[in-house]
């Protein structure tokens, strides 16, 4: 493709390239909140980020798990959680927003497929950092040996508009006997966001109780919601 649009951020980060056939801009579609054991649904092409609904305190946990039926995933939140769901710019869910005005910027690829449409933008998401897979050690503050330094996703203020990805998130049981992956603690006093991941089991059947830290099994994206 000889003609088109390529956009990168100031640090060279990828934004848009109309010569690519497989990439789409993900626009913020839903900003929501869920109570304890609340749920949300998302499509297979969607992207979800989460944060604690709390605004103060030290032990505000976020744990998420997914159940999938066809192309739809149900997300369950163990604790009170705020979340944002991003959808591809050509998603039919943006129909109302796209029909509200004829003005804006639309980018298509060589096949005419929509890759970006500014009319879908009512909010923005700025990716602040990306932590590589297996770079955070895991564990839990209630498990001996937990090291906050080796599990810091973010340190600084404010935390109010920061969300984290939860790829491969799961939880069951408790710290005594259970599993948590891609879990987080939001500490508004420090302030910090800490990663949590572990497998633990109680004694029985000839086995003593134990806990094993689980590192982040996928990249962690830290994003700032712009409203």
Asked if residue 154 and residue 194 are part of one domain, the reply reads yes
Asked if residue 154 and residue 180 are part of one domain, the reply reads yes
Asked if residue 106 and residue 157 are part of one domain, the reply reads no
Average pLDDT over every residue of 123-131: 88
Asked if residue 203 and residue 117 are part of one domain, the reply reads no
pTM of the predicted structure, to 2 decimals: 0.86
Residue 214: the pLDDT is 96
Asked if residue 211 and residue 101 are part of one domain, the reply reads no
Average pLDDT over every residue of 149-169: 95
Asked if residue 106 and residue 168 are part of one domain, the reply reads no
Does position 97 have pLDDT exceeding 60, yes or no?
A: no
- % the chain with pLDDT above 90: 59
Is the model more confident about 108 or about 138?
Answer: 138
Number of domains in the chain: 2
Asked if residue 214 and residue 140 are part of one domain, the reply reads yes
Q: How confident is the model at residue 1 (pLDDT cuts 50, 70, 90)?
A: very low
Asked if residue 187 and residue 159 are part of one domain, the reply reads yes
Q: Rounded to an integer, what distance in angstroms lies between the CA atom of residue 183 and that of residue 38? A: 16
CA nearest neighbour of 83 among 95, 69, 96, 66: 66
SS (H, E, C) the chain: CCCCCEEECCCCCEEEECCCCCCCCEEEEEEEEECCCCEEEEECCCEEEEEECCCCCCCEEECEEEEEECCEEEEEECCCEEEEEEEECCCHHHHHHHHCCCCCCEEECCCCCEEEEHHHCCCEEEEEEEECCCCCCCECCCCCCCCCHHHEEEECCCCCCEEEECCCCEEEECCCCEEEEEEEEEECCCCEEEEEEEEEECCECCECCEEEECCCCCCEEEEEEEC
Residue 94: the pLDDT is 61
Enclosing domain of residue 198: 134-226
Average pLDDT over every residue of 218-224: 95
Of 72, 97, 122, which closes a domain?
Answer: 122
Residue 181: the pLDDT is 97
User: Hunting for tokens 């973010």 — which residue is that?
Assistant: 154
Residue 129: the pLDDT is 93
Asked if residue 163 and residue 98 are part of one domain, the reply reads no
Asked if residue 205 and residue 102 are part of one domain, the reply reads no
Average pLDDT over every residue of 190-197: 97
Q: Does 186 fall in a domain? A: yes
Asked if residue 200 and residue 108 are part of one domain, the reply reads no
List Cβ<8 Å contacts ≥24 apart for 8-14.
13/127
Asked if residue 93 and residue 152 are part of one domain, the reply reads no
Mean pLDDT of the residues in the chain: 87
Average pLDDT over every residue of 51-73: 96
Does position 173 have pLDDT exceeding 70, yes or no?
A: yes
Residue 60: the pLDDT is 97
């Amino acid at each position: 493709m000889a003609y088109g649009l390529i956009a990168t951020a100031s640090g060279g980060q990828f934004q848009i390239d109309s010569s690519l056939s497989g990439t789409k801009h993900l626009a913020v579609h839903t900003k929501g909140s869920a109570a304890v054991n609340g749920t949300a649904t998302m499509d297979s092409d969607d992207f979800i980020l989460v944060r604690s609904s709390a605004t103060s305190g030290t032990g505000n946990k976020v744990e998420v798990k997914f159940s999938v039926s066809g192309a739809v995933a149900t997300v369950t939140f163990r604790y009170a959680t705020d979340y944002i769901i991003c959808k591809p710019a050509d998603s039919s869910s943006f129909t109302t927003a796209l029909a509200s005005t004829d003005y804006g910027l639309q980018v298509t690829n060589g096949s005419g497929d929509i890759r970006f449409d500014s009319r879908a933008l009512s909010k923005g998401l700025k990716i602040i950092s990306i932590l590589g897979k297996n770079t955070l050690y895991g564990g839990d503050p209630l498990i001996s040996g937990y090291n906050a330094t080796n599990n810091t996703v973010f340190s600084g203020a404010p935390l109010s508009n920061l969300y984290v990805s939860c790829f491969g998130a799961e939880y069951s049981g408790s710290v005594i006997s259970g599993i948590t992956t891609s879990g987080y603690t939001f500490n508004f006093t420090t302030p910090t966001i800490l990663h949590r991941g572990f497998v633990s089991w109680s004694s029985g059947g000839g086995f003593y109780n134990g806990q094993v830290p689980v590192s982040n099994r996928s990249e962690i994206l830290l994003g700032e919601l712009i409203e």
